[in-house]
Structure 1
């Protein structure tokens, strides 16, 4: 027993010696620092010295009277420090400069910015709360947070930030710490706090370890009362003090003393620990050897304020061993009492000088010996950098914690078989979560007032995503489930496969009576817009999940619990900087769009840009038509025109070639009997795909169905109503005789070939391929691509015959047709030949939004894989993305368009690599992908509105100019 005690005392002694070695206020040029401090203090009056002990609260959102009050405190009472509270950064900087100019000795400016300046200031950046950061395993990210917050503080003239909170939150019912803590593991708290501190102090901003000696296991809020901590010294030393000791060893610049009643440390249970000499001097300074600044918690808080008069409290705080009085309530009265204490020798001048020297050392350390006014320009831009969001995204991605993943329900795969519903619980908004879910596949939002009705509606779904959303306003907002929500959660889970995503404190799970019927559980920690968006992406495998639970949830989920869930190769949605692209350079696209709309090149459209699988620009602009009735939405679908060739026909041709249903070296006569002995008998499929088959560019089939006398659609071929014979729907109230389909194919067989060999773009080959594919697979082309690609890709906004799937106001119209259909073409394919085939053509007929075009193109970019599913072999992609007749000046690959060989041709911007590929469409569509840079670009529009003679978009080369803008942004960033 004696040996154990001896060993324990030795360990304590070693800890004290190590701690005493660290003087966090010592500058690298300590000799110059001491000279500066001594030169200041020797010329200070007693009043000026006393003034250095105060840090008063200042606001940038109050009136002139408040400004005059602060100015008076600085000039008359020599107050040496201020803490800025609510307001705006611009006004704070102005006031900062003003008050500094008034001060004889530069003011040390404090701030309470645990998660960034947003804690107090409007229009500034907010990082996640500590509980979220506690789930992160990569501590380098914590250091980055400290760096960024330090930069922000320095930018507005803040020298000491009262962060991080190092309380070990072992009490789930703690009303004031909770989410502000890194969790209940003392080691995790210490590790995270040290990394954060190092990051911030590297930027020249002092960190502050709070709330000493530990506020984590309290059930009361010291803002309102004096909480009691009834633990032994051994327990306090083992748990509460652990992270403080580690922080002191790591060199934290300051510590904040808490207003707590701790009988084990201070016999007077009514005396707050912040005013206790036993705590502040004997424990903090002597036993633990802390040499940095010691600052009280706010002296306006009831935990201290209820003890005595404001002035008496301030004197008691100094006598206890504190250096700085935070938010004193009576500066003039306190000065009088402190002077009285000096006169009565209750307080020695040496003791006063001790604190003043430490304060001056701190001022030197943060650069106030060379004070310069803060620059007032570009504050908002500097405080809201894209790189703050890049870091924020990393933090959220690394914090999301999977607690349960039965049968690998995460990430969500096999979308072809999934019918997904989203149900929102809680009292806050989950719209950003739901909107992002929709980017990956069809997800129906289901809500009802009555549980029975809700359960009935959910019967048709085989997966229900439940988002539990609580207020993200501040970290001490209620996180609890209502009784109603708990019942609904259990009943939904009893009847459905469920993924529960919690957008609040993990402590909320303490209320859940059973997780037995819940297949997937993950914690996203906060209900911010970014957390919602990234968590939705995570559900579909946009990135790996590796967070660890920073607290324990009964015996169900232990501290440190967290399942690793690997990501899939699906699109992510982010900002340009995360993909190495300059958002500033990329913003020129917005100006291009303004020009497009102003010059009426198209009524509206969609532009999407991705790099390396990250969507960095995705905007809809303008309206469906020039009448400006319907603004274009991201979900709206456009007639893709010839993009159909590479997004519908080509992937099926690739699959057929892989499955040896066709050979690129087969002739048309080999695969289609009707072409035998025709002038196209010996044409190779490879030649047709390369537009080297001497086919005519197109045939206006519809002209052959006109009445020669009237020029109108002949009644021989058309009816206004569907009948058994007139069954091909061309457009609204326009039905073509079904036998005319064979006539179209016969026209192609009988059409003359061009006499010269060489490149000639032709639609006719895709009429032929449609027939080949449908014969080989014994299914219509639209059904084939839907089943083979779109469903499993989650491309639910890509389809033929959009009126069968979407509301009319979700479909962008094309042309006011006065030559064939005599109506606004809306929901029907614009291409006349495809329309005469009932809307399903090999060359045209496909509708989609930009997001789903991107999924197909990304699948090509990823060598035939997407979402964990292999659609095509890499060799197949490479085979088709190759020119076979380049020596004949044919730029095309097999189906894919390729960069121009002739510089006078504007197929691309001329800035993409030779391995890039894509296609353009007559209606004003364009998509291109470049494996060399990982860039994917989609431009959708209805430039044919009001008529196809609207060639402004084509003549201006706006689509390829935007392509150049994208490339320039990448090059500038890299």
Structure 2
């Protein structure tokens, strides 16, 4: 590390503190990354094949003066590698609650990612589903129980790092108590220090003891701690963790003893940009204890701003050296300086059947008060289906559910309701509400939008369960019983990918048994039990 530090000038050292977003591999993208010479890139895979990704990342690494960290969000389900194995998301794994299964999924993700050149994952998510309205946690978390979260997150860290992928505990200092989204506003962890110590603090201590290599500090305030140590009066108590010396230095480094790399969450989020101007926020990320800045709208200008802050002493020489050498230290731990050849990309085919079998263990039958399951194409042949399709959590687009055609293949006649059409039970034997929203970014809220489903005032207020059986299935957000507490049959299936839809068809028809155990309390309203 010392030799590498000495071989760089200050501008190149500042470059090591930036991790830039990278999509595609046209010549302009390659030239952009080479010209900026960042310490790392985060890959957003755009549908290219594994071999193409592998070749292009290798090409960038070959020309980099210092090998780059290449990161991704390996979270499963819709956040799986598009050219790899589709695996359950954390909430589905928590419902299965089989540590060996979680380890297998982590190993599959790590080996596929490592084979294309990814060496750093921004997972596991250690957040807690405490405030059920939190759309930013939901399916990305291992649930609401701290024991269950630790039971699955810690093995994920171990397996990733055994496979040569640096793991990241996020989102520091702990998300899940605020119903807002840090992409839109600084969110608040409202716990007392004592409450935090028993929940989020425990999870981070155990992750640190397990050797996690990085922590992602987020745009989340923890006012009680800042006030306790005298670094948080007034608005300063509500500084986002990403620019809080109290949280990054005093709490994370000194109190918890973390000695790895601290990377900010995406610095473009309004949870930070609403607090500080664009260039100044990047300076403060480093000055207050962060080691790497995630993403930039103006990398040239922001690198210049950080360099100026170093030269002016606003970022002290000690802090600058510490941040750069921590980045270089992670690269050394990963062995990037050796330039070892990548392993061959594993054949995903053998994993497919195992993952499909695993998915069948996740869904939870929260209630079936009239005993309407299983469905039978003779008894329930005419199906009226309501759906808003699949919401894509990253690209803000919608995909059609496979569920209607899957049921048609079983002999059901499925009519998909078009918003605005009159809703009538006559002529149907069962109604199915199929909701498919995993955790979204910048949505702000997830709820059962009766108006979007029904269309028109009368359709919005129409409820069919007094006339025909009604089944509601959530392939994502697990808390729709708050908006539909009297629905008689409700299933949480946690993930939207097609194999999960196939698994739910088997369960609806009684060809499989519900095995999942609820990782959250879906009954967030007292009357939802009835």
Whether the TM-score (by the shorter chain) exceeds 0.5 is yes
Equivalent residues of 1:143, 1:200 under 8 A apart: no
The structure 2 residue matched to 1:113, chosen from 62, 69, 74, is: 74
Aligned pairs (5 A) from 1:220-619: 220-266=180-226, 267=232, 268-269=236-237, 271-343=239-311, 345-372=313-340, 382=346, 385-406=348-369, 409-411=372-374, 418-428=379-389, 432-437=402-407, 442-446=411-415, 454-458=424-428, 461=429, 464=430, 466-470=432-436, 478-483=446-451, 491-515=463-487, 518=488, 520-554=489-523
Please report how far the alpha carbon of residue 91 of structure 1 lies from its aligned counterpart in structure 2 after TM superposition: 4.5
Please report how far the alpha carbon of residue 241 of structure 1 lies from its aligned counterpart in structure 2 after TM superposition: 3.0
CA 1:555–1:467: 2 relative to 1, 3 Å: closer
Instruction: Give the number of aligned pairs.
Output: 503
The structure 2 residue matched to 1:207, chosen from 167, 184, 192, is: 167
The structure 2 residue matched to 1:191, chosen from 151, 154, 166, is: 151
Equivalent residues of 1:448, 1:454 under 8 A apart: no
Deviations along 1:467-500, one digit per CA (max 9) or x if unpaired, are: 4233569677745241565978984322234444
Which one has the largest radius of gyration?
A: 1
Structure 2: how far apart are the matches of 1:215 and 1:389?
33
CA 1:555–1:133: 2 relative to 1, 3 Å: same
Structure 1: how far apart are the matches of 2:96 and 2:142?
10
CA 1:547–1:44: 2 relative to 1, 3 Å: same
Structure 2: how far apart are the matches of 1:119 and 1:400?
19
CA 1:80–1:190: 2 relative to 1, 3 Å: same
Please report how far the alpha carbon of residue 343 of structure 1 lies from its aligned counterpart in structure 2 after TM superposition: 4.8
Please report how far the alpha carbon of residue 294 of structure 1 lies from its aligned counterpart in structure 2 after TM superposition: 0.8
Equivalent residues of 1:177, 1:476 under 8 A apart: no
Structure 2: how far apart are the matches of 1:147 and 1:347?
39
Equivalent residues of 1:426, 1:481 under 8 A apart: no
Equivalent residues of 1:411, 1:541 under 8 A apart: yes
Structure 1: how far apart are the matches of 2:80 and 2:442?
15
Please report how far the alpha carbon of residue 342 of structure 1 lies from its aligned counterpart in structure 2 after TM superposition: 4.6
| 2:133 match: secondary structure | coil
Structure of greater relative contact order (alpha carbons < 8 Å, 6+ residues apart)? 2
| 2:154 match: secondary structure | helix
| 2:221 match: secondary structure | coil
The structure 2 residue matched to 1:81, chosen from 37, 40, 51, is: 40
Gaps of 5+ in 2: 227-231, 391-399
Structure 1: how far apart are the matches of 2:359 and 2:80?
22
Structure 2: how far apart are the matches of 1:126 and 1:535?
16
Please report how far the alpha carbon of residue 254 of structure 1 lies from its aligned counterpart in structure 2 after TM superposition: 0.9
Deviations along 1:2-60, one digit per CA (max 9) or x if unpaired, are: xxxxxxxxxxxxxxxxxxxxxxxxxxxxxxxxxxx344345444444333222122221
Please report how far the alpha carbon of residue 318 of structure 1 lies from its aligned counterpart in structure 2 after TM superposition: 1.5
CA 1:102–1:390: 2 relative to 1, 3 Å: same
Structure 2: how far apart are the matches of 1:416 and 1:315?
63
2:132 corresponds in structure 1 to 172
Structure 2: how far apart are the matches of 1:544 and 1:120?
26
1:104 corresponds in structure 2 to 65
Deviations along 1:858-911, one digit per CA (max 9) or x if unpaired, are: xxxxxxxxxxxxxxxxxxxxxxxxxxxxxxxxxxxxxxxxxxxxxxxxxxxxxx
2:229 corresponds in structure 1 to none
Moved more, 524-533 or 422-431: 422-431
Please report how far the alpha carbon of residue 171 of structure 1 lies from its aligned counterpart in structure 2 after TM superposition: 2.1
| 2:215 match: secondary structure | strand
Structure 1: how far apart are the matches of 2:361 and 2:117?
31
2:397 corresponds in structure 1 to none
Equivalent residues of 2:39, 2:327 under 8 A apart: no
Equivalent residues of 2:438, 2:477 under 8 A apart: no
Equivalent residues of 1:436, 1:537 under 8 A apart: no
Deviations along 1:492-540, one digit per CA (max 9) or x if unpaired, are: 322234444333322112111324xx2x432222333211111111223
Structure 2: how far apart are the matches of 1:438 and 1:327?
45
| 1:425 match: secondary structure | strand
Equivalent residues of 2:137, 2:439 under 8 A apart: no
Please report how far the alpha carbon of residue 457 of structure 1 lies from its aligned counterpart in structure 2 after TM superposition: 1.7
CA 1:405–1:331: 2 relative to 1, 3 Å: closer
Please report how far the alpha carbon of residue 163 of structure 1 lies from its aligned counterpart in structure 2 after TM superposition: 1.4
1:147 corresponds in structure 2 to 107
CA RMSD between the two structures: 3.5
Equivalent residues of 2:279, 2:305 under 8 A apart: yes
Please report how far the alpha carbon of residue 201 of structure 1 lies from its aligned counterpart in structure 2 after TM superposition: 1.9
CA 1:364–1:391: 2 relative to 1, 3 Å: farther
Please report how far the alpha carbon of residue 315 of structure 1 lies from its aligned counterpart in structure 2 after TM superposition: 2.4
Deviations along 1:202-261, one digit per CA (max 9) or x if unpaired, are: 211011111100121223322233233444323333333332222222222211000123
Structure 1: how far apart are the matches of 2:151 and 2:160?
15
Equivalent residues of 1:145, 1:199 under 8 A apart: no
| 1:142 match: secondary structure | helix
Structure 1: how far apart are the matches of 2:107 and 2:56?
25
The structure 2 residue matched to 1:67, chosen from 30, 55, 75, is: 30
Structure 2: how far apart are the matches of 1:369 and 1:529?
41
Gaps of 5+ in 1: 1-36, 562-974
TM-score by length of 2: 0.83
Structure 2: how far apart are the matches of 1:189 and 1:151?
23
Structure 2: how far apart are the matches of 1:447 and 1:83?
39
